[in-house]
Amino acid sequence: MTGQKILSGCTVLVTGATGGLGSAVAKGCAREGATVVLLSRTIPKLERVYDEIVAAGGPQPAIYPLDLAGASEKDYYDLATTLERELGALHGLVHCAAELGHLVPLSNLDGELWQRLLHVNLSAPFLMTRELLPLLIKSAPATVVFVGDSAVGAGKAYWGAYGVAKIALHGYTRILADEMESFGLKVHLFTPGPMRTPIRRMAYPSENPDTLTPPETPADSLLDLMSPSSTTAR
Protein backbone atom coordinates (compact mmCIF):
# COMPACT_ATOMS: atom_id res chain seq x y z
CA MET A 1 0.00 0.00 0.00
CA THR A 2 1.29 3.43 -0.89
CA GLY A 3 0.25 7.03 -0.37
CA GLN A 4 -1.63 8.32 2.63
CA LYS A 5 -1.86 5.97 5.60
CA ILE A 6 -5.44 4.72 5.74
CA LEU A 7 -5.54 4.26 9.53
CA SER A 8 -3.69 7.38 10.63
CA GLY A 9 -5.10 8.55 13.97
CA CYS A 10 -7.17 5.39 14.44
CA THR A 11 -7.14 2.90 17.30
CA VAL A 12 -7.53 -0.78 16.40
CA LEU A 13 -7.83 -3.80 18.70
CA VAL A 14 -6.54 -7.09 17.27
CA THR A 15 -7.26 -10.35 19.09
CA GLY A 16 -4.95 -13.29 18.58
CA ALA A 17 -2.29 -10.68 17.92
CA THR A 18 0.54 -13.19 18.38
CA GLY A 19 -0.78 -15.70 15.84
CA GLY A 20 0.05 -15.97 12.16
CA LEU A 21 -2.71 -13.79 10.75
CA GLY A 22 -3.18 -11.74 13.92
CA SER A 23 0.42 -10.58 14.14
CA ALA A 24 0.47 -9.77 10.42
CA VAL A 25 -2.74 -7.74 10.77
CA ALA A 26 -1.48 -5.94 13.87
CA LYS A 27 1.78 -4.97 12.18
CA GLY A 28 -0.09 -3.97 9.03
CA CYS A 29 -2.47 -1.72 10.97
CA ALA A 30 0.49 -0.06 12.68
CA ARG A 31 2.20 0.39 9.32
CA GLU A 32 -0.94 2.18 8.15
CA GLY A 33 -0.77 4.59 11.10
CA ALA A 34 -3.02 2.94 13.70
CA THR A 35 -2.39 2.69 17.40
CA VAL A 36 -2.84 -1.05 17.87
CA VAL A 37 -4.06 -2.78 21.00
CA LEU A 38 -2.44 -6.21 20.99
CA LEU A 39 -4.61 -8.81 22.72
CA SER A 40 -3.56 -12.40 23.33
CA ARG A 41 -2.86 -14.67 26.28
CA THR A 42 0.95 -14.92 26.24
CA ILE A 43 2.83 -11.83 27.40
CA PRO A 44 6.30 -12.69 25.96
CA LYS A 45 4.78 -13.21 22.51
CA LEU A 46 2.82 -9.96 22.83
CA GLU A 47 6.02 -8.16 23.75
CA ARG A 48 7.71 -9.59 20.66
CA VAL A 49 5.03 -8.17 18.35
CA TYR A 50 5.15 -4.90 20.30
CA ASP A 51 8.90 -4.63 19.73
CA GLU A 52 8.55 -5.38 16.02
CA ILE A 53 5.97 -2.60 15.60
CA VAL A 54 8.11 -0.09 17.46
CA ALA A 55 11.25 -1.13 15.54
CA ALA A 56 9.39 -0.57 12.26
CA GLY A 57 8.50 2.98 13.30
CA GLY A 58 4.82 2.42 13.97
CA PRO A 59 2.83 4.23 16.66
CA GLN A 60 3.47 2.84 20.13
CA PRO A 61 1.02 -0.05 20.59
CA ALA A 62 -0.67 -1.22 23.78
CA ILE A 63 -0.60 -4.73 25.25
CA TYR A 64 -3.70 -6.31 26.78
CA PRO A 65 -3.17 -9.90 27.99
CA LEU A 66 -6.38 -11.94 28.09
CA ASP A 67 -7.06 -15.66 27.83
CA LEU A 68 -10.33 -15.93 25.92
CA ALA A 69 -10.89 -19.51 27.06
CA GLY A 70 -11.23 -18.41 30.69
CA ALA A 71 -12.52 -14.86 30.24
CA SER A 72 -15.82 -13.89 31.87
CA GLU A 73 -18.36 -11.26 30.84
CA LYS A 74 -16.81 -8.95 33.43
CA ASP A 75 -13.41 -9.32 31.76
CA TYR A 76 -14.89 -7.98 28.52
CA TYR A 77 -16.61 -5.17 30.40
CA ASP A 78 -13.28 -4.29 32.02
CA LEU A 79 -11.61 -4.33 28.60
CA ALA A 80 -14.14 -1.86 27.21
CA THR A 81 -13.82 0.38 30.27
CA THR A 82 -10.03 0.38 30.08
CA LEU A 83 -9.93 1.19 26.38
CA GLU A 84 -12.33 4.09 26.77
CA ARG A 85 -10.45 5.45 29.77
CA GLU A 86 -6.94 5.06 28.35
CA LEU A 87 -7.46 5.60 24.63
CA GLY A 88 -10.82 7.36 24.35
CA ALA A 89 -11.84 5.76 21.06
CA LEU A 90 -11.88 2.51 19.12
CA HIS A 91 -12.10 2.63 15.34
CA GLY A 92 -11.46 -1.01 14.55
CA LEU A 93 -11.84 -4.47 16.05
CA VAL A 94 -10.32 -7.48 14.30
CA HIS A 95 -11.07 -10.95 15.67
CA CYS A 96 -8.11 -13.13 14.67
CA ALA A 97 -8.01 -15.31 17.81
CA ALA A 98 -8.94 -18.93 17.16
CA GLU A 99 -8.43 -22.41 18.59
CA LEU A 100 -8.69 -25.54 16.44
CA GLY A 101 -8.73 -28.37 18.95
CA HIS A 102 -8.63 -31.75 17.24
CA LEU A 103 -10.05 -32.96 13.93
CA VAL A 104 -12.25 -35.83 15.11
CA PRO A 105 -15.76 -37.12 14.41
CA LEU A 106 -18.46 -35.33 16.38
CA SER A 107 -19.35 -38.65 17.98
CA ASN A 108 -15.89 -38.73 19.56
CA LEU A 109 -15.70 -35.09 20.61
CA ASP A 110 -15.28 -34.56 24.34
CA GLY A 111 -17.98 -32.33 25.86
CA GLU A 112 -15.52 -30.12 27.70
CA LEU A 113 -13.50 -29.51 24.52
CA TRP A 114 -16.74 -28.82 22.60
CA GLN A 115 -17.66 -26.08 25.07
CA ARG A 116 -14.16 -24.59 25.10
CA LEU A 117 -13.92 -24.38 21.32
CA LEU A 118 -17.40 -22.89 20.94
CA HIS A 119 -16.50 -20.33 23.59
CA VAL A 120 -13.14 -19.27 22.13
CA ASN A 121 -14.29 -19.21 18.50
CA LEU A 122 -17.86 -17.94 18.85
CA SER A 123 -18.99 -16.82 22.31
CA ALA A 124 -15.84 -14.82 23.09
CA PRO A 125 -16.03 -12.73 19.88
CA PHE A 126 -19.73 -12.13 20.54
CA LEU A 127 -19.24 -11.06 24.17
CA MET A 128 -16.23 -8.88 23.41
CA THR A 129 -17.96 -7.18 20.50
CA ARG A 130 -21.10 -6.58 22.54
CA GLU A 131 -19.16 -4.78 25.26
CA LEU A 132 -17.14 -2.74 22.75
CA LEU A 133 -20.08 -1.69 20.56
CA PRO A 134 -20.81 1.56 22.47
CA LEU A 135 -17.19 2.70 22.08
CA LEU A 136 -17.08 1.65 18.42
CA ILE A 137 -20.32 3.49 17.65
CA LYS A 138 -19.08 6.54 19.53
CA SER A 139 -15.92 6.46 17.38
CA ALA A 140 -17.78 5.86 14.07
CA PRO A 141 -17.03 5.41 11.29
CA ALA A 142 -15.62 2.18 12.70
CA THR A 143 -15.11 -1.39 11.52
CA VAL A 144 -15.43 -4.87 13.01
CA VAL A 145 -13.86 -7.81 11.18
CA PHE A 146 -14.44 -11.47 11.99
CA VAL A 147 -12.30 -14.17 10.38
CA GLY A 148 -13.76 -17.25 8.73
CA ASP A 149 -12.00 -20.38 7.50
CA SER A 150 -12.28 -21.56 3.90
CA ALA A 151 -11.33 -25.11 4.92
CA VAL A 152 -14.56 -25.45 6.92
CA GLY A 153 -16.84 -24.31 4.12
CA ALA A 154 -20.52 -24.86 4.80
CA GLY A 155 -19.67 -27.93 6.88
CA LYS A 156 -17.14 -30.70 6.44
CA ALA A 157 -16.45 -33.91 8.32
CA TYR A 158 -14.15 -33.87 11.34
CA TRP A 159 -13.95 -30.09 11.81
CA GLY A 160 -15.92 -30.45 15.03
CA ALA A 161 -16.74 -27.56 17.32
CA TYR A 162 -14.29 -25.28 15.52
CA GLY A 163 -16.17 -25.87 12.27
CA VAL A 164 -19.56 -25.36 13.93
CA ALA A 165 -18.33 -22.10 15.47
CA LYS A 166 -17.01 -20.76 12.16
CA ILE A 167 -20.27 -21.58 10.39
CA ALA A 168 -22.27 -19.88 13.16
CA LEU A 169 -19.93 -16.89 13.05
CA HIS A 170 -20.94 -16.32 9.44
CA GLY A 171 -24.61 -16.04 10.41
CA TYR A 172 -23.83 -13.85 13.41
CA THR A 173 -21.82 -11.46 11.24
CA ARG A 174 -24.69 -11.04 8.78
CA ILE A 175 -27.15 -10.24 11.56
CA LEU A 176 -24.79 -7.81 13.29
CA ALA A 177 -23.96 -6.07 10.00
CA ASP A 178 -27.67 -5.49 9.35
CA GLU A 179 -28.23 -4.14 12.86
CA MET A 180 -25.21 -1.83 12.86
CA GLU A 181 -25.44 -0.31 9.39
CA SER A 182 -27.45 2.72 10.55
CA PHE A 183 -24.89 3.43 13.31
CA GLY A 184 -21.97 3.94 10.93
CA LEU A 185 -20.38 0.64 12.01
CA LYS A 186 -19.19 -1.66 9.24
CA VAL A 187 -19.14 -5.39 9.96
CA HIS A 188 -17.20 -7.77 7.73
CA LEU A 189 -16.54 -11.50 7.58
CA PHE A 190 -13.10 -12.00 6.07
CA THR A 191 -12.30 -15.51 4.86
CA PRO A 192 -8.71 -15.97 3.75
CA GLY A 193 -7.64 -18.94 1.73
CA PRO A 194 -5.07 -21.47 2.92
CA MET A 195 -2.15 -19.69 4.55
CA ARG A 196 1.00 -20.52 6.45
CA THR A 197 -0.26 -20.45 10.05
CA PRO A 198 -0.06 -22.72 13.12
CA ILE A 199 -3.75 -23.69 12.80
CA ARG A 200 -3.25 -24.76 9.18
CA ARG A 201 -0.19 -26.78 10.21
CA MET A 202 -2.20 -28.56 12.91
CA ALA A 203 -5.03 -29.37 10.50
CA TYR A 204 -2.74 -30.49 7.66
CA PRO A 205 0.53 -31.67 9.26
CA SER A 206 1.82 -33.35 6.09
CA GLU A 207 1.30 -30.29 3.90
CA ASN A 208 4.36 -28.48 2.60
CA PRO A 209 4.16 -25.01 4.20
CA ASP A 210 6.24 -23.52 1.40
CA THR A 211 3.29 -24.03 -0.96
CA LEU A 212 1.03 -21.83 1.19
CA THR A 213 0.47 -18.09 1.10
CA PRO A 214 2.23 -16.19 3.92
CA PRO A 215 -0.28 -14.52 6.27
CA GLU A 216 0.98 -11.05 5.31
CA THR A 217 -0.77 -11.40 1.93
CA PRO A 218 -4.34 -11.90 3.25
CA ALA A 219 -3.56 -9.41 6.02
CA ASP A 220 -3.10 -6.72 3.36
CA SER A 221 -6.52 -7.61 1.91
CA LEU A 222 -8.06 -7.43 5.37
CA LEU A 223 -6.52 -3.97 5.85
CA ASP A 224 -8.49 -2.75 2.84
CA LEU A 225 -11.68 -3.49 4.80
CA MET A 226 -10.46 -1.23 7.59
CA SER A 227 -10.36 1.81 5.36
CA PRO A 228 -13.08 4.39 6.09
CA SER A 229 -14.01 4.23 2.40
CA SER A 230 -14.75 0.48 2.39
CA THR A 231 -18.33 -0.79 2.19
CA THR A 232 -20.16 -3.22 4.44
CA ALA A 233 -19.73 -6.89 3.50
CA ARG A 234 -22.06 -9.54 4.86
Q: Which residues are catalytic?
A: 162
Map residue 83 onto helix, strand or coil. helix
Question: Which residues partner with 45 through β-bridges?
Answer: none
Given a contact cutoff of 8 angstroms between Cβ atoms, the answer to whether 174 and 234 are in contact is yes
| Cβ-proximal residues to 228 (8 Å cutoff; 6+ apart), any chain | 6, 141
Query: In terms of C-beta density within 10 A (0-12 exposed, 13-18 middle, 19 or more buried), how is residue 25 classed?
Result: buried
Q: Kindly report the three-state secondary structure assignment for every residue of 162-186.
A: HHHHHHHHHHHHHHHHHHHHHHCEE
Query: In terms of C-beta density within 10 A (0-12 exposed, 13-18 middle, 19 or more buried), how is residue 112 classed?
Result: exposed
Strand order in the sheet with 11-15: 62-65, 35-40, 11-15, 92-95, 142-147, 185-190
